[in-house]
Structure 1
Amino acid sequence: MMTRRATFGLLGAPALLGACQITAVHGDPSAANFGPTAFHGRFVWTHSSPRFGGFSGLHLAENGRDFWALSDRGTLWQGRFTRGADDAITRVDVAQIHVLKGRDAAPLPRSGADAEAIALGRDGTVFIAFEGGAQARISAYAMPSRAGRDLPRHRDFSAFAANQSLEALAIDPAGRLHTLPEAPQADGFAVFRLDGGAWSVIGHIPQRGEFMVVGADFGPDGNFYLLERQFRRALFSTRISRIQPGNWASVQTLLQTQRGQFDNHEGISVTRTQAGRLRATLISDDNFNWFQRTEILEFLLP
């Protein structure tokens, strides 16, 4: 894989200028066998802000360039990707960094700021899923710089383990929110859907191996895309699957990486390339560790 180098800018804030690059990882990812899915690019994103890192959620606009990246330390990063002639990411520019607020308009305390997933409504409302045991919830932000509004909770939300609760959030073509916990229950991973102000369990996705749910999105084709992660001894494996809504028990695996091949990917957004191919964009959570990185991966889906 050719190494890409690109400058990094924060729009309107030159004091935070830095540098970022794409580097090879465990050989050439483009030469690896990903089955029916094709590797499209890898970008390592760096930034000088002490708030940078911990990205657990990603939303990419239909244009494939404007993005929202969610950190599990309670910040939301808004920016834009620059793409080259091959439509791969060559640069990241950040327009704004929002510190998420609670109902009282004060910044969220560390104990309540474990933001894990993001979805954007048609009207621009930003929905964010938080885990944390009894504090597991989904909040709506009319504007990310303003106070959040907690949505109604399902009774099961507070029963999930503190660090294995709401990890995925997605909006279907009808505008309905869906969420899933990281860990399965007896019947598998419960799929919760919000209808008329109340959550209900509409199905279960079977657990396959040791993978846990970390992200989800509805693609432009109307299908549901599930991101799962497996890790042992700080080495991660990533899996992307496709599910037809309503047929939750039938899961098509599109990609499964080798353990240690990439970093800890927790956010997924599915869009189309300029040529019309389905594209999955993933972002990794570096856990604010020096030996991990914020890695943006892209794959072309069959």
Structure 2
Amino acid sequence: MRRLMILLVLLFPSACLAADQGDISAVAVPLSSTDPTLDRLGEVRVLGLHRLSAAQSWFGGISGLAWDGDALVGVTDKGYWLRFHVQADKEGAPLAVSGLQGGGLGGITQDSKVDGDAEEILRDGSSWLVSFERRHRVWRYPSGLDGAPIAVPLAEGVAALGENDGIEAMARLADGRLLLIAEGREGEPTSPAWIGTPGQWRQLLYPRHGLFRPTAAVALPDGGLLVVERQYTMLAGPAMRLLRLDAGQVENLAGREIVRLAPPLNVDNFEAVAVRARADGRLVATLMSDDNFNPLQSTLMLTILLP
């Protein structure tokens, strides 16, 4: 069966991964429509690019992502959480998706961009941390994502962020401090960021690279950090780049680009990232795009092997 699945994906890029009773489907798409064999991006090897879909009305708009065992957990622009299992081979390439679940985040009004625009999720011990923009805040969910939240005290400057310029990236660093990075205003050379703990925050400035702005971050086991940046223009469409910050450079927010994905390659509005280790210790990153519940966009899942 596994050989058949691999053969289908190689011969027919639109072949579906195995799905559980049709609750969620993942259709393989090539990175390049002109070169279906392309599997390298910058310094990384691409293990898969899949278009996800589900019948549930709340599926889509995924802006934050985290692993919980073998399940991916996400939060959406309209105040929902979702999770589904990803079965992978020894290389880390997805083989099957199944078991889609979802529901409303606790403490908010669903389907409201003002109240429920969740942008990032972080597993923090036995709790979940979720950041929101428009009504800027970070909430802790100690008893499940549908339970009662507790507000995390933030720096004063967070409340002054623009409506659509809030905290897009959040990571728990190796020393226990939180790093919060806002998308920031369009046209500015930097994005505001904060590092510290509740009640003890220090402001930083995240350097911009052209029109790219930060949309997600995840801490690495070696103390480093991955940051996803997104760019969109009416003329060129969406583009994404992935930066790696070494452990000694996290506080300086100085990273180097390891991946860039732009047209004519298949790319969408990438806003989320999660990382897990495979059996040999190599790290596999999963990136997800936010389709904004727009039929002209897609929920893409990009799986890559980090250098």
CA distance 1:145–1:250, change in 2 (3 Å): closer
CA contact (8 A) 2:67 2:276 kept: yes
Residue 187 (structure 1) shift: 6.9
Percent identity, aligned pairs only, is 26
- Which residue is equivalent to 1:164? 165
Residue 98 (structure 1) shift: 2.7
Write out aligned runs for 1:238-277 (5 A): 238-245=240-247, 247=249, 248-259=252-263, 261=265, 262-277=267-282
Q: Once structures 1 and 2 are overlaid, which stretch shifts more, 164-173 or 88-97?
A: 88-97
**1:192 maps to 2:204:** no
- Which residue is equivalent to 1:120? 123
CA contact (8 A) 1:165 1:182 kept: yes
SS of the residue 1:286 aligns to: coil
- Which residue is equivalent to 1:36? 43
CA distance 1:254–1:289, change in 2 (3 Å): same
TM-score under structure 1 length normalisation:
0.87
Write out aligned runs for 1:108-257 (5 A): 108=110, 110=112, 111-122=114-125, 124-132=126-134, 135-142=135-142, 143-183=144-184, 188-201=190-203, 203-233=204-234, 235-245=237-247, 247=249, 248-257=252-261
CA distance 1:94–1:187, change in 2 (3 Å): same
SS of the residue 2:292 aligns to: coil
Distance 1:198 1:166 in 2: 17
Amino acid of the residue matched to residue 199 of structure 1? W
- Which residue is equivalent to 2:5? none
Distance 2:222 2:87 in 1: 24
Q: Once structures 1 and 2 are overlaid, which stretch shifts more, 136-145 or 86-95?
A: 86-95
Q: Deviations over 1:250-291 (max 9, x none)?
A: 321111112352111100112222332222210010111112
Distance 2:132 2:297 in 1: 23
Residue 299 (structure 1) shift: 1.4
Distance 1:246 1:24 in 2: 36
Amino acid of the residue matched to residue 291 of structure 1? L
Distance 2:47 2:111 in 1: 38
- Which residue is equivalent to 1:53? 60
Write out aligned runs for 1:60-75 (5 A): 60-61=67-68, 65-75=70-80
CA distance 1:18–1:156, change in 2 (3 Å): closer
CA contact (8 A) 1:266 1:282 kept: yes
CA distance 1:196–1:245, change in 2 (3 Å): farther
SS of the residue 2:46 aligns to: strand
Distance 2:72 2:207 in 1: 31
Residue 21 (structure 1) shift: 1.6
TM-score under structure 2 length normalisation:
0.85
Tell me how large the CA RMSD over aligned residues is.
2.3
Amino acid of the residue matched to residue 59 of structure 1? A
Q: Deviations over 1:216-237 (max 9, x none)?
A: 0101221011100011127211
Amino acid of the residue matched to residue 146 of structure 2? S
Could you tell me which runs of 5 or more consecutive residues in structure 1 were left unpaired when the two chains were aligned: none
Residue 158 (structure 1) shift: 1.7
Distance 2:189 2:55 in 1: 44
Distance 1:272 1:43 in 2: 20
Which residue of the other structure, out of 20, 25, 31, is the alignment partner of 2:26?
20
